[in-house]
Amino acid sequence: MRRLTEKKKTVQRWRGLEKKLADINELRTISREDKALLNELDQELDDLALQVDEYEFQIAFSGEYDARNAIMTIHAGAGGTESQDWAEMLMRMYLRWAEKRGFETEILDTSPGDEAGVKRVVIAFNGEYAAGYLKSEHGVHRLVRLSPFDADHARHTSFALVEVMPEAESDVEVNIKPDDIKVETFRSSGPGGQHMQKTSSAVRITHLPSGIVVSCQSERSQHMNKDFAFKILRARLLELEIVKREQERAKIKGKRIDAGWGSQIRSYVLHPYRMVKDHRTDYETSNTEAVLDGGLDDFINEYLRLSMGKKGK
């Protein structure tokens, strides 16, 4: 029913644009001498063209899971405090981007850095086509800057891995057998107050057949942490199934590009010059502050255009 509702909304949008265009053309035909009205109709045509561009992007969201909520995990790379601080900067960037788009976010789990930043953070993004938008961010992100943690202020290069998974919508989609999991509780570490330190509210779940281990320690309630951990586990198992399907397709279609530590997708350079560049689309901007404050739409849109072009070929 959800899919049917989405399809109906899509059809209604395009039919609505079709009717608006027909109305404008009819008015232009009968009002050729009325310059004021013609100018007004020209403006309506421009607005209509913008709507068409916006709706065309939804063609890029034709994947089976694109309309879903998303779960993002950010991992700090090698490099200690530098990379952990970079991971936290990325976390803030994506939270600001989601806020601007009207998406709801929730930090499901976080592992604080040793001195600053985070070693790992898991964020849920709830909103229409969250997975479709954020799939463009899956990969390695590279930062070049003068280190605020180095007494000599030397230039450092840091890496962080961003993983994006669609949220599993039901237990039917991902079947987790009770005998296949091991659930453990432990005391939360890092900030959170004395309550989190004294009680075993954190939860770790191991999926024995796959070896996947997930944990959650962000909430005071062990019950909530367990629910969040299962949410992450279901998403990881769904991702595992998607990868298996892609590998099967790759045997027929050929080479499959996998996002890994050796394949950075975007560089953020803050010194000796300022530039953010996406290595897949070659789109770049010198307005690094805006990007790190959540201004990602241009990068995402360029990636979607590239994806649409590839689909067309």
Q: What is the pLDDT of residue 138?
A: 93
Residues contacting 296, CB < 8 A, separation 6+: 93, 94, 97, 137
**149 and 261: one domain?**
yes
Domain count for the chain, please give it: 3
**137 and 286: one domain?**
yes
CATH number at residue 300: 3.30.70.1660
The pLDDT tens digits for 205-259 are: 999 999 999 988 876 688 888 888 988 998 989 888 888 877 765 555 444 434 3
Percent of the chain scored above 90 by pLDDT? Answer: 45
Residue 72 Cα distances to 106, 121, 156, angstroms: 10, 8, 25
pLDDT at 195 over 50: no
pLDDT at 8 over 90: no
**43 and 100: one domain?**
no
Identify whether the C-beta of residue 159 lies closer than 8 Å to the C-beta of residue 80: no
Mean pLDDT for the stretch of residues 287-307: 94
Of 64 and 230, more confident: 230
Mean pLDDT for the stretch of residues 8-23: 89
**146 and 247: one domain?**
no
**249 and 262: one domain?**
no
**148 and 262: one domain?**
yes
Among the candidates 214, 238, 253, a domain finishes at 253
**272 and 232: one domain?**
no
Taking every pair of C-alpha atoms in the chain, what is the biggest distance, in angstroms?
Answer: 80
With tokens 């790992």, the residue in question is 120
**78 and 154: one domain?**
yes
Q: What is the pLDDT of residue 171?
A: 57
Q: What is the pLDDT of residue 283?
A: 97
pLDDT at 1 over 50: yes
Q: Is residue 173 part of a domain?
A: no
Question: What are the contacts of 47-50 at 24+ separation with CB within 8 A?
Answer: 48/17, 48/20, 48/21, 48/24
Of 79 and 97, more confident: 97
Q: Is residue 197 part of a domain?
A: yes
Average pLDDT of every residue of the chain: 85
User: Considering only 140-144, 247-251, 263-267, which range has the smallest mean pLDDT?
Assistant: 247-251
The whole domain housing 308 covers 70-167+257-312
Question: The tokens of 93 are what?
Answer: 């960037």
CATH number at residue 215: 3.30.160.20
Q: What is the pLDDT of residue 199?
A: 59
Q: Is residue 172 part of a domain?
A: no
